[in-house]
Amino acid sequence: DVKVTQSSRYLVKRTGEKVFLECVQDMDHENMFWYRQDPGLGLRLIYFSYDVKMKEKGDIPEGYSVSREKKERFSLILESASTNQTSMYLCASSRQGVYNEQFFGPGTRLTVL
Amino acid sequence: KNQVEQSPQSLIILEGKNCTLQCNYTVSPFSNLRWYKQDTGRGPVSLTIMTFSENTKSNGRYTATLDADTKQSSLHITASQLSDSASYICVVSFSYGNNRLAFGKGNQVVVIP
């Protein structure tokens, strides 16, 4: 079974803090993705990576950065958290190719106070 | 603009009844369409995948249809169960890039006894 794990299910941070969200997959997938999900807006792509040390901006990269030093691990970084970054964050991974399913982690619900 | 529209936004159905969820898309170039099920507090899980040449695909009590000419898809749930209460997300894959997706906002289904 494919497994995508995220470091925290719930996280509460204060405005201005640096926040790290970690994602690990165990299926040797090339692609990894970070999304945020907000009521009424659906899933929106923040960043994705198709190889180690490679990254590309998604639709809403502002205020975020990412790191992929190892194939199985993809980190999302909020350099200075703001209240409008309160959201559900979902990580996903997949093999290369348009027919391959993206497998999602359980999500991290981040609240920024 | 690439868009995926779903209707109805939410619905309540009695246990044992059937329901149909709709998805219209304007994604181009089209590769495939998936329906994902997302239980509350969890990540989405793929139910079906349909390519350009497929009209119907079933997964247990879930049946998806695709009309590539009119760019419409539906997900039919037969003999609903309480465990079908979830958000159902229509996801369209582009035929280029590293598995980039366009997401609908989801159909929220609540099954009541």
Residue-wise pLDDT tens digits, A62-91? 999 999 999 999 999 999 999 999 999 999
Q: Would you place residue B53 in the very low, low, confident or very high pLDDT band (cuts 50, 70, 90)? A: confident
DSSP B46-106: EEEEEETT--EEEETTEEEEEETTTTEEEEEE-S--GGG-EEEEEEEEESSTTT-EEE---
What is the model's pLDDT at position B41?
87
What is the model's pLDDT at position A66?
97
Q: Which chain A residue lies closest to B106 (C-alpha atoms)? A: A42
Q: Would you place residue B94 in the very low, low, confident or very high pLDDT band (cuts 50, 70, 90)? A: confident
Of A42, A90, A102, the CB nearest to B99: A102
The list of chain A residues with pLDDT below 50 reads: none
Is residue A89 a contact partner of residue A76, using CB atoms and an 8 Å limit?
A: yes
Bridge-based pairing of strands B10-14 and A108-112 is: unpaired
Distance between CA A83 and CA B51 in Å, rounded?
40
User: By three-state DSSP, how is residue B111 classified?
Assistant: strand
What is the model's pLDDT at position B97?
64
What is the model's pLDDT at position A2?
67
Q: Is the pLDDT of residue B57 over 90?
A: yes
Q: Would you place residue B30 in the very low, low, confident or very high pLDDT band (cuts 50, 70, 90)? A: confident
Which tokens belong to A35? 């999304």
CA of A18, closest CA in chain B: separation in Å? 24
What is the model's pLDDT at position B78?
97
Give the mean pLDDT of B21-26. Answer: 96
DSSP type of residue A102: P
Which tokens belong to A102? 């993206």
Which tokens belong to B93? 């894959």
- Which of A12-51 are b and which e, b meaning 16 or more Cβ less than 10 Å from the residue's Cβ? ebeeeeebebebbbeeebbbbbbbbbeeeebbebbbbbbe
What is the model's pLDDT at position B38?
96
Q: Give the rounded percent of residues in chain A with a pLDDT score beyond 90.
A: 87
Of A42, A94, A99, the CB nearest to B104: A42
